[in-house]
A = this chain, B = another copy of it.
């Protein structure tokens, strides 16, 4: 087991990465104070892991289970309201503890529920997808979607701890594993050249889910993210590099109605788009760009999709990460090094969008 510290301006907590972590979670957090514990999970995860999860709690201290149906359409305030109502009916007060046991949506919505229930209760992240383990469970961003866009409602609310249990990834569908690995490739490209090289050389072992290889990748990805949010919790500077691949990635998700691609897959396309701009600008060498493209491809195939250039351009314009009309992009300068630029022109954007569509179109 590895313990990675997260230390930001407003919070300090550990991320545990390892195998069989449920007993640790129970011992370290849930039972410590004898308080009411709630577990928010999805029916699918609970069917697979619920028994083992509950077995970590003593008979007299079983948590109350709350369910969120799987899927982006349920990441909404209406579900937050329903769940808060269930907690109130079960007598949850300010001393209640929530455990978010599921993928990114359970983690984001669960963290937000904890952030606003009685103006904030404590919570724990127990992410069950690779994407949630290496990305969304760390850093304190919580939230839900509006009809107008993803994550437009939310809070910064850090968990007491994160328990990234690699055992749980045994039951993760292949496609979701790949989608999560793209985020680790991203971590390597923007800030950790050693992680990148490891992923470049060991794609086969990683995709076979060899425990040691997975642990190495997950721990390094989390360490990178913990470092970045430690330096810039509120995304006023450095944290923006985490959005590598997000400008076009978000646009693709929006243009395909959040149904065709998983988040990590859209980000993979977005990384390729950003790489093309960086290549054309000459800010990254052709050799390094090729290695990055090849490594992204090694964790594919990335599903194809259909969209028009106009639709993607419009969707990218609405991306909430852009302020005052400027088009913001994260561009790699080399392996393990990326920079945020604000001056990507419409022409560059259109060129890369066309190129991606030529590859991606069904």
Instruction: List the interface of chain A (C-beta within 8 A of B).
Output: 76-78, 80-81, 84-85, 88-89, 93-95, 112, 115-120, 141, 143, 146-149, 152-156, 320, 322-324
Contacts and interface: CB of A to CB of B under 8 A. Distances in A.
B323 A94 contact: yes
A118 B141 CA distance: 10
Given A116-B153, A119-B141, A155-B115, A146 B81 contact: yes
B84 A119 contact: no
B119 A156 contact: yes
B77 A118 contact: no
24 contacts: A76-B81, A77-B78, A77-B81, A78-B78, A78-B81, A81-B153, A84-B146, A84-B148, A85-B148, A93-B320, A93-B324, A94-B320, A94-B323, A95-B323, A112-B116, A115-B155, A116-B116, A117-B152, A118-B152, A118-B154, A119-B143, A119-B154, A119-B155, A120-B155
Given A116-B116, A119-B143, A143-B119, A89 B148 contact: yes
Interface centre among A88, A115, A153 (most CB of B within 10 A): A153
Contacts of A77: 77-78, 80-81
Given A77-B77, A77-B81, A94-B323, A155 B116 contact: yes
Nearest to A142: B119
B155 A323 contact: no
Contacts of A323: 93-95
A69 to B, nearest CB: 18
A254 to B, nearest CB: 13
A115 B115 CA distance: 11
Interface centre among A116, A143, A156, A324 (most CB of B within 10 A): A116
Contact of A85 (B84, B95, B146): B146
Contacts of A117: 152-153
Contact of A88 (B89, B119, B146): B146
Given A84-B152, A93-B324, A119-B141, 19 more contacts: A76-B81, A77-B77, A77-B80, A77-B81, A81-B146, A84-B148, A84-B153, A85-B147, A85-B148, A88-B152, A89-B148, A95-B324, A112-B116, A115-B155, A116-B116, A116-B154, A116-B155, A119-B156, A120-B156
A155 B120 CA distance: 7
A3 B314 CA distance: 46
A109 B208 CA distance: 50
Contacts of A94: 320, 323
